[in-house]
Amino acid sequence: MTTTLITGANKGLGFETARRLVAAGHTVYVGSRDADRGRRAAERLGARSVLLDVTDDASVAAAAHTVEADGGLDVLVNNAGIDERARDGGVIGAAELTADELRKVFETNVFGVVRVTHAFLPLLQRSAAPVVVNVSSGLASMARITAPGTPAHGYPGVAYPASKTAVNMITVQYAKAFPDMRINAVEPGYTATDLNAHAGTQTVEEGAGIIVRMAQVGPDGPTGGYFDAAGPLPW
């Protein structure tokens, strides 16, 4: 029996990933920073819910304690994320970005990944086939964002792409440090969720595909990689 925790799984790509992994036979914990939203999602999915705010040390420690007491963890999906929209809904470009706004995005997207991974590492190290999936973005790719004429090149935001590039680096360094684990970064593709006010061009069913696949990777599968549905991506 494989036990899987997905952060930010009360909606969007995390919820769809949870749905698919429940169907695949995993025992799934829906991580949610709001107890009611988490419980409602878990009830709909036939999953368990665990209160988990990735920006809060005490919340993450309590979640790790709960999951450990219930028997441990095999798969961690670091999915919770925020973007960098200003109050008017526009993306915050280089001219307007403040250190506080950058810190806010990094607190969830980067420090959150490290906070959660660090807390659950002892559990993963006791698993026979530990897996970590870090939900990154195509905007993390330095190769893409510097290629004129591509959608990534035209994206004006700083905080979100920078945070996801950091996630990619964290993925690579953790993968080298823990060769017995499969640790990969994935790009779901531009998917209609609350993150982009449902402007994304893919459905969550399409977007979650690569997350689900990398969550199910076996001990002989890749590690330290960066993938979308079509295969490896350029860093």
Ligand X SMILES: NC(=O)c1ccc[n+]([C@@H]2O[C@H](COP(=O)([O-])OP(=O)(O)OC[C@H]3O[C@@H](n4cnc5c(N)ncnc54)[C@H](OP(=O)(O)O)[C@@H]3O)[C@@H](O)[C@H]2O)c1
The residue type of 197 is A
Q: Using the rule CB under 6 A, which residue among 37, 39, 104, 213 binds ligand X?
A: 37
Residue 132 interacting with ligand X (CB under 6 A): no
**Closest CB to ligand X among residues 65, 126:** 65
**Closest CB to ligand X among residues 13, 181:** 13
Closest of 164, 180, 175 to residue 228, by C-alpha: 164
Residue 81 interacting with ligand X (CB under 6 A): yes
CA distance 57 to 69: 18
Helix (H) or strand (E) holding 231: strand 231-232
Q: Using the rule CB under 6 A, which residue among 64, 92, 124, 135 binds ligand X?
A: 135
- The secondary structure of 43-87 as a DSSP string is HHHT-EEEE--TT-HHHHHHHHHHHHHTT--SEEEE------B-T
Phi, psi of 26 (to 5 degrees): -75, 150
Residue 223 interacting with ligand X (CB under 6 A): no
**Closest CB to ligand X among residues 88, 194:** 194
The residue type of 76 is L
Residues within window 45-64 making contact with ligand X, judged by CB under 6 A: 52-55
Residue 79 interacting with ligand X (CB under 6 A): yes
Count residues binding ligand X (CB under 6 A). Answer: 30
| Minimum CB–partner distance for residue 24 and ligand X (Å) | 19
Residue 66 interacting with ligand X (CB under 6 A): no
Q: Could you tell me if 30 and 79 are in contact, meaning their C-beta atoms sit under 8 angstroms apart?
A: no
Residue 33 interacting with ligand X (CB under 6 A): yes
Adjacency order of strands within the sheet including 75-78: 48-51, 27-32, 3-6, 75-78, 131-135, 182-186, 226-228, 231-232
Q: How far is CA 89 from CA 103, 109, 113, 141, 196, in A?
A: 19, 19, 25, 24, 9
CA distance 53 to 78: 12
Binding part of the chain for ligand X, among 2-10, 21-29, 63-71, 220-228 by CB under 6 A, reads 2-10
Residue 188 interacting with ligand X (CB under 6 A): yes
Residue 10 interacting with ligand X (CB under 6 A): yes
The alpha carbons of the chain give a radius of gyration, in whole angstroms, of 17
Q: Using the rule CB under 6 A, which residue among 4, 49, 117, 137 binds ligand X?
A: 137
The residues annotated with a catalytic role in the active site are 160, 164
Q: Using the rule CB under 6 A, which residue among 5, 12, 84, 161 binds ligand X?
A: 12
Residue 196 interacting with ligand X (CB under 6 A): yes
Contacts to ligand X by CB under 6 A: 7-8, 10-14, 33-34, 37, 52-55, 79-82, 108, 135, 137, 187-188, 190-191, 193-196, 200
